[in-house]
Structure 1
Amino acid sequence: MTGATYPSLAGKRVLVTGGGSGIGAGVVEGFVAQGAHVTFFDIAREDSAALVAQLDGKPVFEAVDLTRIDEVREAIARLGPFDVLVNNAANDDRHEVADVTEEYWDNRIAVNLKHTFFCAQAVIPAMQAAGGGVIVNLGSISWHLGLPDLALYQTCKAAIEGLTRSLARDFGRDNIRVTSVIPGNVRTPRQLQWYTPEGEAEIVAAQCMDGRLLPPDIAAMVMFLASDDARLVTGHSYFVDAGWR
Structure 2
Amino acid sequence: MQTYATFHDLKGKSVFITGGGSGIGAALTEGFLAQGAKVAFVQRSDATDFAADMGDKYGRRPLFIPCDITDIDALKSAMAQSAEAHGDISILVNNAANDQRHSLEEYDVADWEKSLNINLRPHYFTAQTVAPAMKRMGEGAIINFSSASYLMGNAGFSSYVAAKAGITGLTRALARELGAHNIRVNALVPGWVLTQKQLDKWATEEGLKEHLEKQCLKEHLVEQDIVDATLFLASKTSRMMTSQALVVDGGVVMTG
TM-score range, shorter chain: over 0.9
CA distance in 1, matches of 2:190, 2:104: 24
Give the whole-Å Cα distance in 2 for the aligned partners of 1:67 and 1:143: 22
Aligned to 2:26: 25
Deviations for 1:185-238, whole angstroms, at most 9, x for unmatched residues? 001011111111221121111100111111110010110011011111100100
**8 Å Cα contact 2:16/2:82 also seen in 1:** no
Aligned to 2:251: 243
Query: Counterpart of 2:219 in 1: which secondary structure?
Result: coil
Specify the alignment match of 1:52 in structure 2.
Answer: 51
Give the secondary structure class of the aligned counterpart of 2:208.
helix
Deviation at 1:62, TM superposition (A): 0.5
Give the whole-Å Cα distance in 2 for the aligned partners of 1:54 and 1:89: 21
Say whether the 8 Å CA contact 2:214–2:252 is kept in structure 1: yes
SS of 1:98's equivalent? coil
Matched, 1:158 2:165: yes
How does 1:101-140 map onto structure 2 within 5 Å?
101-140=108-147
Structure 1 residue 229 corresponds to structure 2 residue 228: no
Q: TM-score, normalization: structure 2? A: 0.92
Matched, 1:72 2:65: no
Gaps of at least 5 residues in structure 2 are none
Shift of 1:2: 3.9
Separation in 1, partners of 2:161, 2:135: 31
Equivalent position to 2:182, from 172, 175, 181: 175
Report if aligned partners of 2:63, 2:82 keep a CA contact under 8 Å in 1.
no
User: What is the RMSD computed on CA atoms of the aligned residues?
Assistant: 1.1
Q: Letter of the 1:241 partner, please give it.
A: D
Distance, in Å, in 2 between the alignment partners of 1:136 and 1:199 is 29
Q: Percent identity?
A: 42
Shift of 1:30: 0.5
CA distance in 2 between partners of 1:191 and 1:244 (Å): 18
**Would you say 1:197 and 2:196 are equivalent positions?**
no
**1:88 Cα shift?**
0.3
Instruction: State the SS of the aligned residue for 1:211.
Output: coil
